[in-house]
Amino acid sequence: MQLIIKDNYKELSKEAAKIVIEQIKSKPNSVIGFATGDTPLGLYKELIKAHKNGLDFSQIITFNLDEYLGLPDSHGQSYNYYMWDKLFNHINIKKENVNIPDGTAFDPEKFCEEYEAKIKKSGGIDLQILGIGRNGHIGFNESGSKFNSRTRIVNLTKQTRKDNAKFFEDINNVPVQAITMGISTILKSKKIILLANGKEKAENIRKLMNESKTEKFPASALKDHPNTIILVDKDAASLLD
Ligand code: PGA
């Protein structure tokens, strides 16, 4: 893992955008894995700017990490809605090239198998963007997720539901399950950037950089990956030596 520390969130977002832009310029039909949450919002703003300055997204293929089970695409808190609202509606991406787990799939287990197969058929993910949960999750792979896990249905922990309750009217409205790419699915990506900003992520970044691998701390699976960048701001790096 390579660690890059930037002064602040704006600089972190610009650096992340530089990596994504270089990827798309060197391979216009790149397969990009996108993430949701607060962390990548600055990156997405930078990508929209890059598009206004001429960057072509028409050939990229995307796979999102996860989606709440039970939420339709049109639901304001679905990750499908987030991706279109925050990024895809503002760049020249082709709808048929966008893949986001379907929270209302008729047969979710079959859907997970098909999602995994589709990633493989696309040639695999060239660049995966990741955030890190307050509990160390990547995607919705919560503590205890097997490092060899594939795309599947998972139960969300109380902590994750509490963290995400701010987006719903009431914690009881936060779905209890989700579809997520597995840890082995994520690790198959050719390149990964994990973004983290703010003091509340500092302990997780310290653990990730200084402690050994354990399934109790899902992000630690990245230690085995040959091409991962941990891109953080000074606050998230504040507990590192
Ligand atoms: P956040 O979420 O970007 O909103 O902090 C990260 C995550 O849960 O993976």
Q: What confidence tens digit (pLDDT) does each residue in 24-69 have? A: 999 999 999 999 999 999 999 999 999 999 999 999 999 999 999 9
Q: What is the pLDDT of residues 113-147, one digit of tens each?
A: 999 999 999 999 999 999 999 889 999 999 999 99
Relative to beta strand 127-130, strand 31-34 is parallel
pLDDT for the residue 199:
97
Test site for ligand 1: of 64, 163, 197, most ligand atoms within 8 A of the Cβ: 163
- From 39, 77, 83, 181, mutation site for ligand 1 pocket: most ligand atoms within 8 A of C-beta: 39
Give residue 42's pLDDT. Answer: 98
Q: How far apart are the first and last CA of the chain?
A: 16
Q: Which residue's alpha carbon is nearest to atom 2 within ligand 1?
A: 37
CA 160 / ligand 1 centre spacing (Å)? 9
Query: Which is nearest to 215 in space by CA: 183, 181, 191?
Result: 183
pLDDT above 90: residue 80 = yes
What separation in Å is there between the alpha carbon of 42 and the centre of ligand 1? 13
Whole-number Å distance, alpha carbon 228 to ligand 1 midpoint, is: 18
199 in helix, strand or coil? helix
pLDDT higher than 90, residue 241 = no
Distance in angstroms (rounded) separating the CA atoms of residues 105 and 93? 23
User: Are 233 and 16 in contact, with CB atoms under 8 Å apart?
Assistant: no
Give the burial string for 118-142 (b: 16+ CB within 10 Å, else e): ebeebeebbbbbbbbbebbbbbbbb
Q: What is the pLDDT of residues 176-209, one digit of tens each?
A: 999 999 999 999 999 999 999 999 999 999 999 9
Burial track 172-184 (b if 16+ CB lie within 10 A, e otherwise): eebbeebbbbbbb
Sheet with 98-99: list strands edge to edge: 2-6, 228-233, 191-196, 127-130, 31-34, 61-64, 98-99
> What residue has token string 């914690």?
171
> Known catalytic residue: 8?
no
